[in-house]
Chain A
Amino acid sequence: MNNFMVVGVMLCLDKLKVAVEDKVILKEINLTIAEGEIHVLLGPNGAGKTTLLMAIMGMPGVQVIGGGIYFQGRDITGLELEERAQLGIGMAFQKMPQIPGVTLRTLGELIIEKHGQDGSLAETAERINCTYLLDRNIGFGFSGGEAKRAELFQLLLQQPLFSMVDEPESGVDLDNIALVGSVLNDLFERKQVKSKKRAGLIITHTGHILDYLNADMGHVLMGGKIVCRGNPRDLLSDIQRSGYEHCLRCES
Chain B
Amino acid sequence: MITQEDYLQTLKEKAESAADKPAALGPDVDLSQFYLCSPQERIENPEEISPQLREVALYAGVDLNNDKTPGVYLQVDRSAVYQKMQEAFKGKMEIMSVSEALKKYPELWQYWWQLVPVDTDKYTAFAELCPAEGYFIRVFANQKIEFPLQTCLLLSEDSGIQNVHNLIILEEGAEANLITGCASAREDQAGVHIGVSEIYLADRARMNFTMIHNWGERFHVRPRTVVKMGANSFFNNTYVLLKPLLSLQTFPKAILEGAGANATFRSIILANEDSYIDVGSSLVLRGAGSRGDSISRVCASDRAQVFARGKLVSYHDQAQAHLECKGILFSREASIVSVPELEVYGAPQSRLSHEAAVGPIEQEAINYLRSRGLKKDEALSLITRGFLNVDLPGIPPALKKYIDQIIQVTSKDLM
- Measured CB to CB, the residues of A under 8 A from B are 57, 59-61, 80-82, 85-86, 90-91, 93, 96-102, 106-107, 110-111, 114-115, 137-138, 154, 158
B239: interface (CB < 8 Å): no
For B374, B378, B388, which residue has the most chain A Cβ atoms within 10 angstroms?
A: B374
Of B375, B376, B383, which one neighbours A102 at CB under 8 angstroms?
A: B383
B52: interface (CB < 8 Å): no
Of B373, B385, B389, which one neighbours A111 at CB under 8 angstroms?
A: B373
Known: A60-B363, A81-B367. A137 touches B372 (CB 8 A): no
Known: A60-B363, A101-B388, A137-B386. A114 touches B368 (CB 8 A): no
CA distance A194 to B302 in the complex (A): 55
Is the pair A82, B370 in contact by a Cβ cutoff of 8 Å?
yes
CA distance A91 to B370 in the complex (A): 11
Is the pair A101, B387 in contact by a Cβ cutoff of 8 Å?
yes
Closest-CB distance, A174 to chain B (whole angstroms):
29
CA distance A154 to B391 in the complex (A): 23
Is the pair B373, A82 in contact by a Cβ cutoff of 8 Å?
yes
Sampled A-B contacts (14; CB under 8 Å)? A81-B367, A82-B373, A82-B374, A85-B372, A90-B371, A90-B372, A96-B368, A98-B362, A99-B369, A100-B386, A102-B385, A110-B372, A110-B382, A111-B372
Contacts of B383 in A (CB 8 A): 99, 102
Contacts of B374 in A (CB 8 A): 82, 110, 114
CA distance A207 to B123 in the complex (A): 72
CA distance A115 to B391 in the complex (A): 28
Known: A101-B387, A102-B382, A102-B386. A60 touches B367 (CB 8 A): yes
Of A101, A107, A138, A158, which one neighbours B389 at CB under 8 angstroms?
A: A101
Is the pair B373, A86 in contact by a Cβ cutoff of 8 Å?
yes
Is the pair A98, B365 in contact by a Cβ cutoff of 8 Å?
yes
CA distance A115 to B373 in the complex (A): 8
B364: interface (CB < 8 Å): yes
Closest-CB distance, B297 to chain A (whole angstroms):
9
B390: interface (CB < 8 Å): yes
Contacts of A80 in B (CB 8 A): 370
Closest-CB distance, A89 to chain B (whole angstroms):
9
CA distance A231 to B328 in the complex (A): 50
Contacts of B372 in A (CB 8 A): 85, 90, 107, 110-111, 114, 154, 158
Closest-CB distance, A125 to chain B (whole angstroms):
16
Closest-CB distance, A81 to chain B (whole angstroms):
4
Known: A82-B374, A82-B375, A110-B374. A97 touches B388 (CB 8 A): no
For B368, B385, B387, which residue has the most chain A Cβ atoms within 10 angstroms?
A: B368
Interface string of B344-383 (1 = CB under 8 A from A): 0000000000000000001111011111111110100011
- Interface size grouping (class) on chain B: 20 to 34
Known: A82-B375, A82-B376. A99 touches B386 (CB 8 A): yes
CA distance A184 to B390 in the complex (A): 35
Number of A-B contacts (CB under 8 A): 74
Known: A114-B373, A158-B373. A93 touches B368 (CB 8 A): yes
CA distance A154 to B368 in the complex (A): 11
Contacts of A115 in B (CB 8 A): 373
CA distance A222 to B370 in the complex (A): 29
CA distance A96 to B369 in the complex (A): 11
For A157, give the chain B residue with the smallest CB separation.
B372
Contacts of B386 in A (CB 8 A): 99-102, 106, 137
Q: Which 3 A-B pairs have the closest CB atoms?
A: A101-B386, A102-B386, A85-B373
Contacts of B373 in A (CB 8 A): 82, 85-86, 111, 114-115, 158
CA distance A107 to B391 in the complex (A): 17
Contacts of A101 in B (CB 8 A): 385-391
Is the pair B368, A97 in contact by a Cβ cutoff of 8 Å?
yes
Closest-CB distance, B368 to chain A (whole angstroms):
5
Contacts of B368 in A (CB 8 A): 93, 96-97, 99, 138
Is the pair A100, B370 in contact by a Cβ cutoff of 8 Å?
no
CA distance A140 to B367 in the complex (A): 17
For A81, give the chain B residue with the smallest CB separation.
B370
Closest-CB distance, A245 to chain B (whole angstroms):
35
For A90, A97, A138, which residue has the most chain B Cβ atoms within 10 angstroms?
A: A97
Contacts of A93 in B (CB 8 A): 368, 371
Contacts of B364 in A (CB 8 A): 97
Closest-CB distance, B341 to chain A (whole angstroms):
25
CA distance A91 to B368 in the complex (A): 10
CA distance A59 to B364 in the complex (A): 9
Contacts of B369 in A (CB 8 A): 99, 107
CA distance A106 to B389 in the complex (A): 13
For B369, B372, B375, B376, which residue has the most chain A Cβ atoms within 10 angstroms?
A: B372
Known: A81-B370, A114-B372. A97 touches B365 (CB 8 A): yes
For A96, A101, A154, which residue has the most chain B Cβ atoms within 10 angstroms?
A: A101
Contacts of B387 in A (CB 8 A): 100-101
Closest-CB distance, A54 to chain B (whole angstroms):
9
Is the pair B370, A85 in contact by a Cβ cutoff of 8 Å?
yes
Known: A82-B376, A97-B362, A110-B382. A57 touches B371 (CB 8 A): yes
CA distance A91 to B373 in the complex (A): 11
Interface string of B391-403 (1 = CB under 8 A from A): 1000000000000
For B389, give the chain A residue with the smallest CB separation.
A101
Contacts of A154 in B (CB 8 A): 372
Contacts of A106 in B (CB 8 A): 382, 386
For A58, give the chain B residue with the smallest CB separation.
B371
CA distance A106 to B369 in the complex (A): 12
Contacts of B382 in A (CB 8 A): 99, 102, 106-107, 110
